[in-house]
């Protein structure tokens, strides 16, 4: 969490504020009128010797947003709890959630949802950009517009979860029993699946990928294992894009 | 190429076409065409322009060209971006760059755990119904490759 009390970082907002204050803009004038202190300018920055608080300059953090209504992808900066999709004008909640108990009501966000080991989803719909599954999905639906991470102790019915990308962390050993289709797949643990990927399948060092794998791109980093029937055809990437229709179907 | 530096490496130039089995106790670089098997105790480099129709039995191999046949390496198989491999591969270690075209079966498991032993390991933590099914699946894993 950044400390906004002492500004040592220049982000978009502080830069803008500095410009406005430097200009002695109309906005300041209107503020003065409101506060009925015509001779005083906002004290805090003016008291500061110029450049004192500037230690380094960083780019403001960008957040990738995927609209769960229309699928439009865009980036925002800043920390607002919600944003509006530029395409469909849907109000999108941006907050991240960590679920530790039983979730029975719907949860829709373009942020991250972490279902911890003690948590479960029961008859609820969860829509999120990133979903870390370590708990149990008993019933309901989980729709992930971005990355689904399946933790080592996750328990779920495959058909209840759809996701665009899949990540298997190092400690996980996952078997997908039905045909699974994703865009990018990153394997750091063990994955056995009948898998189709339209993007890149990445096998990290220490990981093991097994099963029947079809995709456009495969990257195996030194130390990664592949024990599978493979059809990797970069030239047919477009074909794969066209019939990617069914996302992440998994039946336990 | 390296003959001047002491480490001898045979090079098959791009314009050369060979039919038959090629055996070497050293390393070899293939840039031309080979219709037949290649056996090398050393390292093999298959250049971008190379086309091999036959099986490779080598210590380690770096593929940038086309191979139509199975590759068995004692140590390592590396597939570079331009590689096109049509056949099964088996090695201790594998590195694949993005852009590779590969159709075949891969049997590479650097962690060294034998395929049959894996079922034991994977069924150990046995999380929920998912992993039980996994354990069952593992039993058939050798059959997975036997199927083909
Ligand atoms: Zn939208």
The predicted-structure confidence for B101-146, as pLDDT tens digits, reads as follows 999 999 998 776 544 333 333 333 333 333 333 333 333 333 323 3
Burial tier of A232 (Cβ tally within 10 Å: 0-12, 13-18, 19+): buried
Q: Which domain holds residue B45?
A: 9-147
Sheet of strand A120-121: strand arrangement? A102-103, A120-121, A136-137, A155-156
**Partner residue opposite B96 with nearest CB, options A175, A206, A218:** A218
A26: in domain: no
Residue A34 CB neighbour total at 10 angstroms:
8
Nearest to B96 by CA among B71, B68, B59: B71
The CA A71 to ligand 1 mean position distance, Å, reads 6
Parallel, antiparallel, or unpaired: how do β-strands B71-79 and A173-182 relate? Answer: unpaired
Mean pLDDT for all residues in chain B: 77
A29: in domain: no
- H-helix or E-strand spanning residue A33: helix A26-35
Q: What is the mean pLDDT of residues A5-15?
A: 61
- pLDDT of amino acid A64: 86
Residues from chain A that touch B133, judged by Cβ atoms under 8 A, are 175, 177, 252
End-to-end CA distance of chain A: 39
Assembly ipTM: 0.74
Contact between B89 and B77 under an 8 Å Cβ cutoff? The reply is yes
pLDDT tens digits along A39-73: 333 444 444 555 555 667 777 778 888 898 898 99
- H-helix or E-strand spanning residue B64: none
The total number of structural domains in chain B stands at 1
B34: in domain: yes
B1: in domain: no
Q: Which of B90, B127, B140 to mutate to test the interface with A (most CBs of A within 10 A)?
A: B127
The CA A61 to ligand 1 mean position distance, Å, reads 22
pLDDT for residue A145 is more than 90: yes
Query: Which residue of chain B comes nearest to A226, CA vs CA?
Result: B108
B3: in domain: no
A134: in domain: no
Q: How far apart (Å, rounded) are the C-alpha atoms in residues A227 and A208?
A: 7
Question: Is A223 near chain B, with CB under 8 Å?
Answer: yes
Cβ pair A229:B145 closer than 8 A? yes
How is residue A243 written in tokens? 């019939």
Question: Is A176 near chain B, with CB under 8 Å?
Answer: no
The CA A174 to ligand 1 mean position distance, Å, reads 33
B100: in domain: yes
**Partner residue opposite A227 with nearest CB, options B93, B96, B109:** B109
The total number of structural domains in chain A stands at 1
Q: Which domain holds residue A191?
A: 169-247
The CA A131 to ligand 1 mean position distance, Å, reads 20
């Amino acid at each position: 969490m950044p400390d906004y009390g002492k500004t040592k970082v220049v982000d978009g907002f502080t830069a803008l504020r500095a410009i406005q204050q430097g200009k002695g803009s109309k906005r300041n004038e209107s503020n003065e009128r409101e506060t009925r202190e015509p001779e005083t300018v906002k004290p805090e920055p003016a008291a500061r010797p110029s450049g004192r608080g500037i230690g380094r300059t960083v780019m403001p953090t960008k957040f990738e947003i995927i609209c769960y209504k229309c699928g439009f992808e865009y980036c925002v900066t800043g920390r607002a709890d919600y944003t509006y999709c530029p395409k469909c004008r849907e109000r999108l909640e941006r907050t991240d959630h960590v679920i530790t108990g039983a979730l029975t009501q719907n949860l829709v966000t373009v942020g991250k949802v972490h279902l911890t080991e003690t948590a479960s989803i029961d008859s609820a719909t969860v829509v999120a950009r990133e979903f870390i599954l370590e708990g149990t999905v008993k019933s309901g639906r989980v729709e992930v517009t971005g990355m689904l991470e399946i933790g080592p102790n996750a328990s779920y019915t495959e058909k209840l979860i759809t996701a665009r990308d899949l990540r298997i962390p190092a400690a996980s050993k996952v078997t997908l029993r039905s045909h699974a289709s994703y865009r990018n797949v990153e394997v750091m643990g063990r994955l056995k699946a009948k898998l189709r990927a339209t993007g890149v399948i990445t096998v990290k060092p220490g990981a093991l990928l097994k099963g029947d794998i079809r995709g456009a791109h495969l990257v195996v980093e030194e130390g990664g294992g592949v024990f599978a029937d493979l059809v990797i055809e970069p030239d047919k990437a477009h074909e794969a894009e066209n019939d990617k229709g069914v996302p992440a179907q998994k039946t336990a | 190429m390296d003959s001047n530096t002491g480490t001898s490496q045979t090079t098959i130039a791009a314009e050369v076409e060979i039919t038959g089995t090629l055996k070497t106790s050293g390393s070899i670089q293939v840039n031309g065409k080979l219709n037949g098997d290649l056996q090398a105790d050393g390292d093999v480099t298959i250049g971008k322009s190379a086309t091999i129709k036959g099986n490779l039995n080598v210590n380690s191999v770096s593929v940038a060209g086309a191979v139509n046949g199975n590759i068995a390496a004692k140590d390592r198989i590396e597939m570079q971006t331009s590689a096109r491999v049509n056949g099964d591969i088996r090695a201790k270690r594998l590195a694949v760059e993005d852009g590779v075209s590969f159709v075949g079966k891969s049997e590479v498991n650097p962690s060294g755990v034998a395929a049959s032993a894996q079922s034991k390991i994977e069924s150990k933590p046995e999380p929920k119904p998912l992993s039980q099914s996994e354990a069952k699946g593992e039993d058939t894993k050798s059959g997975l490759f036997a199927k083909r």
